[in-house]
Amino acid sequence: MAEPGARSGLWLGLVVGAALGAGATWLAMARPWRSARPAAIAAADAAPGPERPDRPRKRRGRSRAGGAETDDVAPPVLTAADHAMTWRGAAIALPTRDVDLGDEKSGGRALEAGEIDEVMQRASGPVLACIQGALAGAELAGEVRLEMLVGGDGEVQKVRVGAPRWLVSHGIADCASAAARRIRFPATGAPTVVNAPYHID
């Protein structure tokens, strides 16, 4: 039979052993030395972020021409002011000159209508290209007028351009003036004012 002192020691050993065992179990399960931050970060990464509104995307219509895709661009809408006739350049008139009445050949002559038509039919390509470029995709009906002072040597000395304001604002005056000054008429010895209309349908 165990003595009272031995029994006390036995119970104390059991209590200490149980306490140590419970503490070891808690340490193994809880692991308090590990930071909880990775778990928080993982949870934050797993959580869905705020939804971003879809940005509108520009859509460009496309049509097929000859099997190739081309962009459909609506023509600009013109106002009444865009159609208004506008002039660029000083008014053109025949210069005053002295004529020797005793010399029938000294005065020369003006260009004839047939001569003017022949030259303009042959040399109007650059002017038409200026009109096409100044349209800038607009649907426009109207008229472009060139007034030219042609010297007796057949060279164009002055140019005045009249056109709808839309064409003027898109460079028709400078372009057509430069093209007109390159035109050469027959030399007749006298200046002529030439009016050349171009109709736009």
Average confidence (pLDDT) over 13-30: 50
**0.85 exceeded by pTM:** no
Q: Rounded CA gap, 40 and 46, in Å?
A: 10
Task: State residue 11's pLDDT score.
Answer: 53
Sort 110 into a burial class: Cβ within 10 Å, 0-12 / 13-18 / 19+: middle
Confirm whether 13 is domain-assigned. no
Confirm whether 23 is domain-assigned. no
Confirm whether 124 is domain-assigned. yes
Confirm whether 128 is domain-assigned. yes
Residue 187: CB atoms within 10 A of its CB come to: 14
Task: State residue 60's pLDDT score.
Answer: 44
Q: What is the CA radius of gyration of the chain?
A: 48
CATH number for position 174: 3.30.2420
Task: State residue 97's pLDDT score.
Answer: 73
> How many domains is the chain partitioned into structurally?
1
- Buried-exposed string 44-76: b where 16+ CB fall within 10 A, e elsewhere: eeeeeeeeeeeeeeeeeeeeeeeeeeeeeeeee
> What is the residue range of 161's domain?
80-95+109-200
Average confidence (pLDDT) over 82-103: 84
Residue 160: closest CA among 195, 109, 189, 132 = 195
Say if residues 125 and 142 touch (Cβ distance below 8 Å): no
Task: State residue 72's pLDDT score.
Answer: 72
Average confidence (pLDDT) over 110-119: 97
Task: State residue 201's pLDDT score.
Answer: 86
Structure tokens at 47: 């959580």
**pLDDT exceeds 50 at position 56:** no
Q: What is the mean pLDDT of the chain?
A: 77
Q: Within 13 A of 81's CA, how many CA atoms are on the CB side? A: 1
Confirm whether 48 is domain-assigned. no
Confirm whether 17 is domain-assigned. no
pLDDT band at 59 (very low <50, low <70, confident <90, very high): very low
For 95-113, what is each residue's pLDDT tens digit?
987 666 555 556 799 999 9
For 144-160, what is each residue's pLDDT tens digit?
999 999 999 999 999 99
Structure tokens at 127: 């002017």
Confirm whether 136 is domain-assigned. yes
Confirm whether 22 is domain-assigned. no
